Structure 1
């Protein structure tokens, strides 16, 4: 039986008293999922311990829908959180993502709470609330004065009418008699009620036995206690009755309370982990450290605990409790579908290394960049004055929407190849015919091979016909599924669709848009693509190996015998974005024409101005200046902690101290003299593109360029930096800012002239 609403009770003495109103709050588990997608091979081993309340807006909507559900209700789901990216199944009490496959978490309707403010399970709540409705503990509270006050306010209608009539007739004698009658009746009911409470306790009518071996004792209208059923002696029960609901702690007695309070919420959020999820680059640093320092490996239990905390944080960021209402129906003009590339197998080792997390980070980064830079705000609202969009320096609520939605497209789990699993191929005896990839690794650098195998394995699969067809089928179906579902959930959406492909995902999306698969394949995209963003892309080297050029479809002459060597992605604008340290990223413009090899890639501007921007800018001053900067940084850090480290400081020579202290001065001198003493050969040369060059490039991108290089940091040269560069685009502000800028400016006309930097 499900208890949905308050009811009216009639006690043995004829007093009609409504069941106290129940303040409900909905919660979701944030640490232990009920289930995960099949490829995780996950089995739930314990019950969740961390529950977080939904936003007031979502909680209200969940309760409203819950109260309206009948046995005949077909749709029992409610979309929640920022942009309604998640849904709650009110039949199964579970929270799951709407547009992608991911962990499924328990949901609880918070009615009864433990002493930590966490909601009891749905089944236990139903039983305890059922006992509450039946035993009516709100009728035998221990505050006699309060009870008398309530009884005086609940006198019968006949008495009230009699009182009113006596006042109207101005009969003082009748008035006194009526007042006396009211007080006598209240005293009589109070005595009877006090005796009734004693009878209830002597007959143990305030107890409810549970199936889990525990007993609930109802103390008053809001408080109860739960304890082992073996504690059933008169002495134990008397002690529990007298002290159970007080602040005194009794062993094995757990206080529970009815109804949510705001104080509970404060306690819950205070106990949540505050550590943000690490960057992917941090994870790779840890993996390298573990691989080459096996004696320093983190304990498995610690890793699992850390993973759960990361998962909790990630889910909380996704739910975005503060903005759930303001973003639930926001206008979306641009939908970006992101296709993952290589390295997703690492998601089996690290909960946070998965594409869904990466896209959630990208979405959050875009929003953060948008809110802090009016250049993007102006692009999103071209008809509004930027100054009028703000109030006291902050954007007005109606302008906080960047009008962009970003969703992940995952396909790797649908391909039947895994580094640690044997292929499903058997000999005549039913034994595996082939080993797994991990079993053919050599021992010399096995840790490094394991890491690189997890990261770059998928590139090899792309050139095996058996797997490439699986990849195309999986990606096209998933793109169409997500697009169709998004249109169903957002019927008013009529915006532009963009595709962002990372690494191998860019090659897949490029080939899909170029129809570079078997001609008989019936699967095609259900939508047109505005912009294709290839990020950290190997498309350049793939097409070079295929001896293929990239050319806009409208510029291909079918009569030209070389036209069969040209590919044309069906999108309005093609972007190739890469980090200088990314070993997987290659240029595309030289494949349009070899003469473009002399053009330097267009530099992606910094997303936001600040100290990090200035630090990155030091890279252009050269290696010598970078070394001086490192020394200056070291000097700053040591100066800051000089007093603390005074006793253990190792003496240095005068030359060493002078070198450190002069480092900052050298930097300043280099900056001020750079323009005066610059070598003519080091001056960056520029040239205007010819009409022919501009025609070839603007046909592929309205900006007149395809290749875009991200800013390079001072310290970005190492093997770890190279791998990190390939996987960390999604958490990079410059990448997020550039893609957002180009998406919001999609309607701009092609440039009519263009200047580019050249190598020589």
Structure 2
């Protein structure tokens, strides 16, 4: 039997908030004669997607989240202005409003759509919330307007109805009637039909549904076959109460703050797995003989992915100052290989990766005073602890290249059939999982060796860099800062070669935007880059632009940027060095070590080193006392050693070394003398001068720190694809970006192999 649900799980605080909401709604209505408006946008079902998704909308969205208070007020103000009598036919009136974090999205007020500003992405429905379901979801624009029109016609009948009566007392009084209502709501038998007088406060929606207005703030929607005298009595009395009435949808007129509590609490913080986990899964499948077919994402899974991204990647409650923060540095990120995997896995999405990097930079920035000083100096500012003054935007190109491993080329023969098959159609049956992985990941590198696709890639990336830059300047006309490019994997090769093709003197007002950049590049960050390998295979040297004397030298390449960085993880099998391509003798130098981005972890590693020194000393003292021999205490592990790639290995090796093996005194002194010769030397003036021309920091190759416990083979598998999620990468790029005005060093020490 269906019984009355009294919502006993609701705590008193929620009920009191709800009662307060009703009274507040009434007070607001008495003042303004209109409901309090709140703007929302869908996150689960897009209206449409970019063409390459081949997407077709099959149902309406069900999940909506609110815009920030500031954005909602701006949208409402623009909406009223756009729909004013004087502006309805004004074609020059702006019909869009930039919204959300850093104004990365825009709302079309004519179509009620939300879309990204700087990249191609899904387009979602926007709703101007005036009437709401009990779970806080706003009604669709058409339905809300019909119900509001009906309210305006019926509101004179609602005077005197008490919205703040004791709802729970009513529920108890009507308990038996509610049971009867719920038992008979599906099939009405022998109930007295309502007459015309019972319809005074009811509006027919014309689709088999009726709306009954209970109070100035509450209404219910129910089926037309439920319109009996008994049911209408129950609905009028219990419509605004917590009583659960089957086949009845309860509505609220006007927004109240409690409606968003459950919505915002349900938003995920980081629901998607890390990219490294995805590639580990792929490699595991390669070893699984039962795995033969690639997994393709369904539309529902892709929609869920986009929902998670839009809900977790952005801050949804920004103030106006946070949303309109000052920016001094624009970093444009060019993706590398493996974007085709986006059709199989939720996390392989470059926009999401860039969002993760932007958020990682922000969290690292907020945790360290050092970065605050870099961004603001001694200047006090309300933004000092929140705004790193850096914007990061994606440059996506793979979807515009007309080659897909699962699709045939758009070339037909004389009979109208595809002239060439798809790559997947020429695979042999053996080791299919491995072939699928190679096709999805390594194919992009193979395309880079075919002149047709190289030309396509260069043209596409150059045009996209110019488009995003121009659009950013249009949206931010006061931006006078620096522009940087970050390229990951193959993306670094593309960015490097594009910059190498830029002429020295170029009129920015008269250029071919498919070949030349509209802007000067301050820093080029090559991350996980195979540039060194490609240039070695091409028998080319890398020369700083300021050291290049002629454009006709075919065996030299010189990217047009002020500072060149080559950043790699020690486990990355795709990352190669660049400095030996500048001068072969630079191969003797170890790459510059990158410090941990967050000091707390750095201190933890050094603490482990100090702990190992204490243990060593006590073991030596104990063994000397037992054996009666004297031995020099071990050399302490220094802070620089703790930062080295093998910190854990040094600690463990020191702990297990055999200290009670007595060595000849002469050999011992010889070893101590050799050990005292640290392989650290000053760069020769001519070498430092050459490296300073490539990078005013005096180095090009930078090696990220390996975590103390990051010693497994798994790290080698995932290192290449995890840079955007890595704190140390984000911290280093942020540090170097903020320090562009620092003076070049006059001396530079390097560690030799």
**TM-score normalised by structure 2 residue count:** 0.78
Residue 212 (structure 1) shift: 3.3
Moved more, 362-371 or 24-33: 24-33
Residue 285 (structure 1) shift: 2.7
Residue 23 (structure 1) shift: 1.0
Question: 1:753 and 2:747 equivalent?
Answer: yes
Q: Distance in 2 between matches of 1:425 and 1:553?
A: 42
Question: 1:269 and 2:264 equivalent?
Answer: yes
SS of the residue aligned with 1:108? strand
Q: Distance in 1 between matches of 2:443 and 2:31?
A: 66
Q: Please tell me whether the aligned partners of residues 35 and 104 of structure 1 are also in contact (alpha carbons under 8 angstroms).
A: yes
**Which residue of structure 2 aligns with residue 730 of structure 1?**
724
**Which residue of structure 2 aligns with residue 25 of structure 1?**
38
**Which residue of structure 2 aligns with residue 469 of structure 1?**
455
Unaligned runs of 5+ in 2: 1-28, 166-193, 504-510, 616-647, 661-667
Residue 401 (structure 1) shift: 1.2
**Which residue of structure 2 aligns with residue 659 of structure 1?**
none
2:517 paired residue among 525, 530, 537? 525
Question: 1:452 and 2:438 equivalent?
Answer: yes
Q: Distance in 2 between matches of 1:105 and 1:611?
A: 41
Moved more, 52-61 or 295-304: 295-304
Q: Please tell me whether the aligned partners of residues 106 and 116 of structure 2 are also in contact (alpha carbons under 8 angstroms).
A: yes
- List aligned pairs for 1:107-146, cutoff 5 A: 107-136=126-155, 139-143=158-162
1:378 paired residue among 349, 373, 376? 373
**Which residue of structure 2 aligns with residue 64 of structure 1?**
77
Question: 1:570 and 2:556 equivalent?
Answer: no
Question: Cα distance 1:440–1:17, how it changes in 2: closer, same or farther (>3 A)?
Answer: closer
**Which residue of structure 1 aligns with residue 119 of structure 2?**
100
1:550 paired residue among 542, 557, 568? 542
Q: Distance in 1 between matches of 2:492 and 2:195?
A: 73
Residue 523 (structure 1) shift: 2.6
Residue 430 (structure 1) shift: 1.5
Question: Cα distance 1:18–1:710, how it changes in 2: closer, same or farther (>3 A)?
Answer: closer
SS of the residue aligned with 2:442? helix
Residue 351 (structure 1) shift: 3.3
**Which residue of structure 2 aligns with residue 6 of structure 1?**
none
1:80 paired residue among 99, 114, 128? 99
Q: Could you give the per-residue CA deviations for residues 134-177 of structure 1, whole angstroms, max 9, x where no partner exists?
A: 2225643423999xxxxxxxxxxxxxxxxxxxxxxxxxxxxxxx
Q: Could you give the per-residue CA deviations for residues 236-275 of structure 1, whole angstroms, max 9, x where no partner exists?
A: 3333333333322222111111011111111222333455
- List aligned pairs for 1:305-384, cutoff 5 A: 308=303, 310-384=305-379
Q: Distance in 1 between matches of 2:464 and 2:726?
A: 26
Q: Distance in 2 between matches of 1:731 and 1:249?
A: 46
Question: 1:405 and 2:391 equivalent?
Answer: yes
Q: Distance in 2 between matches of 1:285 and 1:30?
A: 29
SS of the residue aligned with 1:113? strand
Residue 75 (structure 1) shift: 1.4
Question: Cα distance 1:604–1:98, how it changes in 2: closer, same or farther (>3 A)?
Answer: same
Residue 300 (structure 1) shift: 8.5
Unaligned runs of 5+ in 1: 1-15, 147-198, 390-395, 626-663
- List aligned pairs for 1:9-24, cutoff 5 A: 20-24=33-37
**TM-score normalised by structure 1 residue count:** 0.77
Q: Please tell me whether the aligned partners of residues 476 and 523 of structure 1 are also in contact (alpha carbons under 8 angstroms).
A: yes
SS of the residue aligned with 1:267? helix
**Which residue of structure 1 aligns with residue 485 of structure 2?**
499
2:474 paired residue among 488, 495, 499? 488
CA RMSD of aligned residues (A): 3.6
Q: Distance in 2 between matches of 1:127 and 1:292?
A: 59
Question: Cα distance 1:578–1:145, how it changes in 2: closer, same or farther (>3 A)?
Answer: closer
**Which residue of structure 1 aligns with residue 56 of structure 2?**
43
SS of the residue aligned with 1:44? coil
SS of the residue aligned with 2:418? coil
Number of residue pairs the alignment of both structures matches: 640
**Which residue of structure 2 aligns with residue 53 of structure 1?**
66
Q: Please tell me whether the aligned partners of residues 572 and 701 of structure 1 are also in contact (alpha carbons under 8 angstroms).
A: yes
1:697 paired residue among 691, 694, 701? 691
Q: Distance in 2 between matches of 1:477 and 1:200?
A: 69
Q: Please tell me whether the aligned partners of residues 364 and 598 of structure 2 are also in contact (alpha carbons under 8 angstroms).
A: yes
Q: Please tell me whether the aligned partners of residues 545 and 561 of structure 2 are also in contact (alpha carbons under 8 angstroms).
A: no
Residue 382 (structure 1) shift: 1.7
SS of the residue aligned with 1:59? helix
Q: Please tell me whether the aligned partners of residues 587 and 707 of structure 1 are also in contact (alpha carbons under 8 angstroms).
A: yes
Question: Cα distance 1:291–1:264, how it changes in 2: closer, same or farther (>3 A)?
Answer: farther
Q: Distance in 2 between matches of 1:465 and 1:299?
A: 29
Q: Distance in 2 between matches of 1:615 and 1:290?
A: 35
Q: Could you give the per-residue CA deviations for residues 710-740 of structure 1, whole angstroms, max 9, x where no partner exists?
A: 1123565666533421111111111111111
SS of the residue aligned with 1:118? coil
Residue 454 (structure 1) shift: 1.3
- List aligned pairs for 1:157-176, cutoff 5 A: none
SS of the residue aligned with 2:522? strand
